[in-house]
Amino acid sequence: MQQMPYYPPGYQAPSPYASSHLLQADNGLPQLAHPVGVSEPNTPSPGTAQPAKRKQVKNACTNCQKACKKCDEARPCPRCVKYGIANTCVNSTRKERKKGVKRGPYKRRQKGDGEASTPEARTPRRKNSPEQPQYDPQNMRASMPFGYPNGLNQYGQPYDAYGQYASQQYMVNPVYPGMSYPVQQMVPGADGHGQNQQGGQHQYATHSAMPHAQQHSPYNGYQGSPHQQSRPLQQVHPGDVKDEQKPHQPLTPVPSTSSSSAASSPHVNVAGVGANVSNGGDNDEEGSRLARLSQLCRAALDQSDGPTEST
DNA sequence: AATATCGGAACATAAACTAG
DNA sequence: TAGTTTATGTTCCGATATTT
């Protein structure tokens, strides 16, 4: 039995406006337009050529959140209703914001800059504009040399040989190094105390440690997701048919580190091979592992007829 | 064709900072 | 302390992949 969507107080979605503007946000799934006071996305506001800003609900339901789809203020949201998972349509919980994050001195804007005080007029967020190479932990993470041009991160910003910003802005914030996510995995002993403890968003994989990367692929199995820490298992609801019915294997296989086994020893990945080698643990296993490795190497070398040096 | 997945831009806003 | 600036976390667009 399908329940009627619940519209919270003040919500007036089923308006003529809404009905005539069903959004095709979710693959043809008709969506109510926007709740009170929310402008329709992607329509130029009258008089200006600027497209209206996209509006977001304050809190998407867990299902929409997982699917990265448009949600609604109503519970159950139209999408859940459509897919018959209305009973699992619950608000996701938001992670608490970090506190105590120090910043460098602000750049004060000139008054003459015009409407600098309006949010729209401010500098774009997230993406640093070229003229303000601010230190940004996100970019710092992104600045790890994974396939970006030499000395540049993905935004074309320079970093030095150690993957840090060459700009002195970086020096302004001696506090941030505590958040250097990549290091965590590299240093098994760094047990995530200090800043990383808060908010529960440590344990980034070294690469693609960006917030978004953590949002998506890493948690197909719902287990190792950094996100899940704040949202314990309301996802794994019996009614969540879509996900439950999926063949249990994740589409993007999660490396063993992120599975539950990793929970007991968070650093398996690093400690795994290295530890065996260094502490001389069971040699048989090591031997066979090495043998397999060399086999693989040989095979790879055979395939690539290029002048690569052998091991 | 429908649905799922997911990268990443856009958005919202809490919190640090600063001028008065 | 109000206003400004910025960092952080969330939403969801849109492209692509997979399933039916």
Q: What is the pLDDT of residue A304?
A: 52
**Closest by Cα among A190, A182, A95 to A137:** A182
Asked whether strand C has any atom less than 7 Å from the CB of A68, the reply is yes
Which protein residue's Cα is closest to nucleotide B17 at C1'? Answer: A106
**Closest by Cα among A8, A60, A61 to A35:** A8
Instruction: Render pLDDT for A207-250 as a digit per residue (tens, 0 to 9).
Output: 333 334 344 433 333 333 333 333 333 333 333 333 333 333 33
Dmax over CA atoms of chain A, in Å, equals 75
Which protein residue's Cα is closest to nucleotide C8 at C1'? Answer: A97
User: How many Å from the CA of A67 to C1' of C15?
Assistant: 15
User: How many Å from the CA of A76 to C1' of B16?
Assistant: 37
Can you tell me whether residue A166 is helix, strand or coil?
A: coil
Asked whether strand C has any atom less than 7 Å from the CB of A101, the reply is yes
**Closest by Cα among A231, A212, A201 to A98:** A201
Nucleotides of C under 7 A from a protein CB: 3-15, 18
Instruction: Render pLDDT for A138-183 as a digit per residue (tens, 0 to 9).
Output: 333 333 333 333 333 333 333 333 333 333 333 333 333 333 333 3
Nucleotides of B under 7 A from a protein CB: 2-19
| pTM of this structure | 0.44
Q: Is pLDDT of A94 > 50?
A: yes
Instruction: Render pLDDT for A7-41 as a digit per residue (tens, 0 to 9).
Output: 333 333 333 233 333 333 343 333 333 333 333 33
Cα-based distances in Å from A228 to A208, A231, A250: 18, 5, 16
* Token pair for A59: 């809190």
